[in-house]
Amino acid sequence: MIRLAALGVTYPGGRRALAGVDLVIAAGERVALIGPSGAGKTSLLRVLGASLRPSAGALSVFDADPWALPAARLRQLRARIGKMHQSPPLPPRQRVVTAVLAGRLGQWSLWRAMRSLLHPIDLPGAHAVLDRLGLAERLFDRCDQLSGGQLQRVALARVLYQRPDLILADEPVSALDPALAQHVAVTLNDEARTRGATLVASLHAVELARSAFSRVIGLRDGRIVFDRPAAQVSDADIAALYAGAPAAPAAPAESGAPPERPRLTRCA
């Protein structure tokens, strides 16, 4: 599924984000990336998602170097990758249903995609994935009417609807309280396990990484410090990984468990 060899990323201005990263992730693995802020987690996810070109080394995703592909094949590869961002890039005036159905725009014909943007073509499908996340009643709301935690769950619903072969999640639970964070992490892992998809997620919640994922990779200063099955990651490993690093700022958490599942009703 994924192979990195001596991979490095240096941004304009000389800031090094990744250096000498060697990594193999097999199809169907569920991997958590942990480490202090600035460790290179987001840069690594951007490389895996074929949105950031490495400065050095070799990269293979789905048995291909994304940057050696012609434009059409690169679009096809990216359509197989589902991405969750810490701050989901959802247009404020966009309806939740439209945001969810956008998960399949890369798989649909231009005509079908334009039709769905004008009039949602799969209301039951969007409702079903939102229902799994306790957001079914927000189907026709605008995104600017949602909290940060609800927007993160809408972004997850879009990935669930997309059904990608590779799921990349960058701090997908940063705006959620512990109960909702656990719910989202379990949903992500269940989705990957059920469909045989590969999941790679960056997390500041170390205990969630150890309890919900099968493999944990510790990053610091752009390098892999350890790469082990989650059950073998010790408290000493965690202490060494974060030693001397400033604590990550706490994000405002959305509180409350997912609401009861409502019936599908159209809002005016």
Q: Look at residue 127 in the predicted model and tell me its pLDDT.
A: 95
pLDDT at 1: 85
Q: Where are the domains of the chain?
A: 1-79+205-259
DSSP β-ladder status, 56-61 and 2-10: antiparallel
pLDDT at 73: 95
Selected from 3.30.750.24, 3.30.540.10, 3.40.50.300, 1.20.1600.10, the CATH number assigned to the domain covering 1-79+205-259 reads 3.40.50.300
Q: What is the pLDDT of residue 254?
A: 54
**Residue 244: other Cβ atoms inside 10 A:** 5
Q: How far is CA 230 from the centre of its chain?
A: 19
30-34 vs 215-220, strand pairing mode = parallel
- Edge-to-edge strands of the sheet including 198-202? 81-84, 166-170, 198-202, 30-34, 215-220, 223-229
Name residues of the chain where pLDDT drops below 70: 108, 246-268
- Cα–Cα distance for residue pair 69/214, rounded to 1 Å: 32
| pLDDT attached to residue 246 | 65
pTM given for the model: 0.86
